[in-house]
């Protein structure tokens, strides 16, 4: 049973516009969330994180929003650049999981069109 879901397998955005990637989770015990970016033939790389004590975290062009009541988080990229074209995974964890375990979503493939 998928505890972290990314319902949009793909997204296309024009360069300079905003990209919004969405992620939903079912486990109310999750309290820490990460976004990873993955290029073809490479491993995922960490992008940005958010704790459940916050509802927003910014890092340059990337902002993650968390809506705990809806069990929903989103990643905003503004402005989008062609180099942002990649697969984005969200991941979640909770205090009950030992070993810093994270559950990953299925990924959203973002294409930024020049």
Partner 1 sequence: NAGVTQTPKFRVLKTGQSMTLLCAQDMNHEYMYWYRQDPGMGLRLIHYSVGEGTTAKGEVPDGYNVSRLKKQNFLLGLESAAPSQTSVYFCASSYGRSSYNEQFFGPGTRLTVL
Q: Which residues are near partner 1 by CB under 8 A?
A: 2, 4, 6, 9, 32, 34, 36, 41-46, 49, 51, 89, 91, 93, 98-107
- 42 or 70, CB closer to partner 1? 42
At its nearest, how many Å lie between partner 1 and the CB of residue 106?
Answer: 4
At its nearest, how many Å lie between partner 1 and the CB of residue 92?
Answer: 10
At its nearest, how many Å lie between partner 1 and the CB of residue 68?
Answer: 16
Residues 59, 77: Cα–Cα separation, whole Å: 10
- 13 or 92, CB closer to partner 1? 92
Q: Which two tokens stand for residue 69?
A: 């009541």
At its nearest, how many Å lie between partner 1 and the CB of residue 66?
Answer: 14
- 77 or 91, CB closer to partner 1? 91
In DSSP terms, which residues pair with 33 in a beta bridge?
50, 92
In DSSP terms, which residues pair with 108 in a beta bridge?
88
Distance, C-alpha 17 to centroid of its chain: 18
How far separated are the first and last CA of the chain, in Å rounded?
38
- 5 or 79, CB closer to partner 1? 5
Q: Output phi, psi for 103, to 5 deg.
A: -100, 130
Q: Which two tokens stand for residue 33?
A: 């969330």
């Amino acid at each position: 049973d998928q505890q972290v879901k990314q319902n949009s397998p793909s997204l296309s955005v024009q360069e300079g516009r905003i990209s919004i990637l969405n992620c939903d989770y079912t486990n109310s015990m999750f309290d820490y969330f990460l976004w990873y970016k993955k290029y073809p033939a490479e491993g995922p790389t960490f992008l940005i994180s958010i704790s459940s004590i916050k509802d927003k975290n910014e890092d340059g062009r990337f902002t993650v929003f968390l809506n705990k009541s809806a069990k929903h988080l989103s990643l905003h990229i503004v402005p989008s650049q062609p180099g942002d074209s990649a697969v984005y995974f969200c991941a979640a964890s909770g205090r009950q999981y030992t070993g810093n375990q994270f559950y990953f979503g299925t990924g959203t493939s973002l294409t930024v069109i020049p």
